[in-house]
Chain A
Amino acid sequence: MASVEIRNVFKAFGSTEVLHGVSVDIQNEEFVVLVGPSGCGKSTLLRMIAGLEEITKGDILIGGRQVNNLPPKDRDVAMVFQNYALYPHMTVFDNMAFSLKLAKAPKAEIQERVQRAAEILNLSDYLERYPRQLSGGQRQRVAMGRAIVRDPLVFLFDEPLSNLDAKLRVQMRAEIKALHHKLRTTVVYVTHDQVEAMTMADRIVVMHDGIVEQVGDPITLFDTPDNLFVAGFIGSPAMNLIPGRIGRRDGRVWVEARAGVRLPLRPNAPGQQGQEVVYGVRPKSFQIAPSPGDDTVDMTVGVVEPTGDEIEVIAKVAGEQVCAVFTDRLALKPEQTVAVRPQLDSVHLFDAGSGKRLVA
């Protein structure tokens, strides 16, 4: 078990730079998820930790030891690949024992460690089978078993669930999290799925275009996104972002969006008169108001999608498409205009130019 320090790491493929100075500190026993859209460099960063890609500039330390020039086998890391990468000609037992055999561990120890890993992962009945005789979820477990038997300093997961169907993905998500609780090994986990990131991580690293946008625990990222990218990326459905200008008069503050629509803000909201901003409000932060007022805004309903326990409404506010989610069973109809009240405490303001969060 060990910490992982990533210090100002750059990566270039030829003349194309894909990581522009990434720094992340991962604590011992921590479950850290690297998340971002495809092409953001998260997998490259993981592969650099594993030693499968060279580091162009910067340092990576595992357990306080610089590993820049160490080959993967000397880094004491285990990796689970997206398509499992099981050795097709070996049984489940041999797949899991392979690294120990290479390390010339005694037979009895190999036997014992594989058995124990198989018990943890419910694979004891499948040890003599070949990967082709297993289902997707079982193969995924074998891939994890191969990592577990080695008892490495760090587990690296590269989008391990993206080949599974939705139901199995939810199940395996819980299994991986439970496994982490049991083993308490440091985990670095890459995914493009922000739901996976939110549900599994102790801390999330949001990456975009080769830089780290924000690092924090799931709730912090959700409640106080640092910038427009994180605001739009974390949360499902995504946060509604409406551009406008700050207006102030008589102690009242608002954002004036297109066509003079006023979006309410709390009185102590940051920002100067006339500043160009983006007004961010989460779909669940809207409440239906009985009548229009200073703290409400008109919403024109477009599509109503009941999901059973809530209603998702695609609507227009100030000419912008927004999404609102209500837990009440409202009888909303298309083309209907209703007054909604954004919860002022959970309204986010971002500078339109820099995309940075405005802080009071």
Chain B
Amino acid sequence: MTETRQGASYADTRRRPGFVAALYIYTSLFVVAAIVLIPLVTTALGGFKTLGELRVNPFGLPTDWQWANYWDILVSARYWQMLGNSLLIAVLTVFLTLAVASMAAFTLAHVHFFGNRFLMNYFLLGLMFPIATAILPLFIRIRDLDLLDSYMGVVLPQVAFGLGMSILLLRNFFRNVPRELFEAAFVDGSGYIRFFWYITLPLSRPILATVGIIAFVHSWNSYIVPLIMLNSQDKYPWPLGIMIYQGEFSTDWQLVLAFITLTIMPTVIVFFAAQKHIVAGLTAGAVKA
């Protein structure tokens, strides 16, 4: 490959992988894709089967497509209410996570004060602390705050436990905003707050999207916190809704599978829509663009 032939002809001159390498690449990609897709497809197809067929033929195509499984869920008010609850909790979680984490990350990235590093590491410790281990003290605290059986009782712990990761991602991004921009804005008459609002936030859209989506998916799939905090069924998000199909003696697995398929659909759609932002955000700052 010569310097002069770069540019338009770059793609042609790149060496094509040999047969063995190609085989290796395709095999490994195929395996990874299978690990992701087989459960998804099995779940979606399982929703079209009867319980009996599910027992004898868990992986194949259904012999008789039971559209009613999906249809019954879609026309039930419960499904939409749970979806609405999940959405409300997730949106609140995303909003609060972004607001709190971005301000904290900005301070940790730009303001030098005593204990800056210590505070940062303290937040990072939160990454090693799964929410389930703290569920009892968390319950007591939420009870004392009189937030049991309310949306905020679910949202606040989720935000708190998401802060470590969010601050880490945001801070690394903010630190890569060129210093001169800050100085130029400073001379132009802005202080920290207006720099944050007018310069940092608009420039940080990719990482804000990433953090927002991570928080959204996390909240969407969250099971243990709503289970502990919520009592009334009309506030349940969808992961708790599955429990209705689990009786004392038998479980309607085909309905559970249909329900899961319908509820993960929104996250899959959101993920595909925002895919570009997520990848850009996760790798941002790794190399100088």
Binding site for B on A (CB under 8 A): 50-52, 71-73, 77-79, 81-83, 85-89, 98-99, 102-103, 146, 150
B198 closest partner in A (C-beta): A98
Tell me, in angstroms, the Cα distance from A51 to B199 when the chains sit together.
20
Q: How many residues of B contact A (CB 8 A)?
A: 17
Given contacts A98-B198, A102-B194, contact A85 B183 (CB under 8 A): yes
Rounded to whole angstroms, the CA-CA distance of A98 and B186 in the bound complex is 11
Q: Is A73 in contact with B184, judged by CB distance below 8 angstroms?
A: no
Residues of B within 8 A of A81 (CB): 180, 183-184
Interface string of B136-176 (1 = CB under 8 A from A): 00000000000000000000000000000000000000000
Interface SS of B by simple majority: helix
Contact of A72 among B180, B187, B199, B203 (CB under 8 A): B187
Asked whether, in the complex, the Cβ of A87 is within 8 Å of the Cβ of B187, the reply is: no
Cβ proximity bits B177-202 to A, threshold 8 Å, 1 near / 0 not: 01011011111111100100011001
Is the CB–CB distance between A85 and B189 below 8 Å?
no
Nearest A residue (CB) for B204: A89
Q: List 22 A-B contacts (CB under 8 A).
A: A51-B186, A52-B186, A73-B190, A73-B191, A77-B187, A78-B187, A79-B183, A79-B184, A81-B183, A83-B178, A85-B183, A86-B184, A87-B181, A87-B184, A88-B203, A89-B203, A98-B185, A99-B188, A99-B189, A103-B189, A146-B184, A150-B188
Q: A73-B186, A99-B188 are in contact. Are A85 and B180 (CB under 8 A)?
A: yes
Contacts of B198 in A (CB 8 A): 98
The CA-CA distance from A99 to B202 in the complex, in Å, is 17
* Chain A residue with Cβ nearest B203: A89
Shortest CB distance A8–B (Å)? 25
Nearest-Cβ distance from residue A118 to partner chain B, whole angstroms: 17
Q: Are B202 and A85 in contact (CB under 8 A)?
A: no
Q: Which residue of A lies closest to B178 (CB)?
A: A85
Contacts A83-B178, A85-B180, A87-B181 given; does A98 touch B202 at CB 8 Å = no
List the 5 closest pairs (A to B, CB-CB), nearest first: A85-B180, A73-B189, A99-B188, A85-B184, A102-B189
Q: A71-B186, A102-B194 are in contact. List 14 more A-B contacts (CB 8 A).
A: A50-B183, A51-B186, A51-B187, A73-B186, A73-B187, A77-B187, A79-B184, A85-B178, A85-B181, A85-B184, A87-B184, A87-B199, A88-B203, A99-B188
Which B residue sits closest to A84, measured CB to CB?
B180
B194 touches A89 (CB 8 A): no
